């Protein structure tokens, strides 16, 4: 008999009862399990954080790259595409 390895890890969290009720209601409405709800929520949070990091970086280097306006961004992007 082969041993089946899990592709996920079990995580336990604590939530206030009212928050859990709201989550369960929304998960039911979207026809999702709680696990699916939390996975998607975490994915979205991580994507938002990645975007925030990119924005922080862009703000820190924009002056050095000669970027002041959206037109500057478009000009640099177009120049890069034509290489």
Q: Distance between the two ends of the chain, CA-based, in angstroms?
A: 57
Q: Is 38 exposed, middle or buried (0-12, 13-18, 19+ CB in 10 A)?
A: middle
pLDDT mean over 52-59: 82
The predicted structure's pLDDT at residue 2: 64
- pLDDT at residue 21, rounded to an integer: 97
More confident of the two residues 5 and 13: 13
Whole-number Å distance between alpha carbons of 39 and 30: 14
Per domain, the residue ranges of the chain are: 17-81
Query: Whole-model pTM?
Result: 0.65
At residue 32, the pLDDT reads 96
Identify the residue with better confidence: 64 or 8. 8
């Amino acid at each position: 008999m082969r041993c089946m390895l899990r592709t996920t890890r079990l995580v336990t969290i604590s939530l206030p009862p009212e928050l859990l009720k709201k989550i369960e209601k929304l998960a039911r409405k979207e026809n999702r399990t709680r696990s699916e709800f939390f996975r998607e929520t975490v994915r979205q949070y991580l994507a938002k954080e990645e975007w925030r990091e990119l924005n922080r970086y862009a703000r820190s280097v924009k002056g050095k790259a000669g970027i002041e306006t959206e037109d500057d961004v478009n000009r640099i992007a177009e120049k890069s595409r034509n290489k």
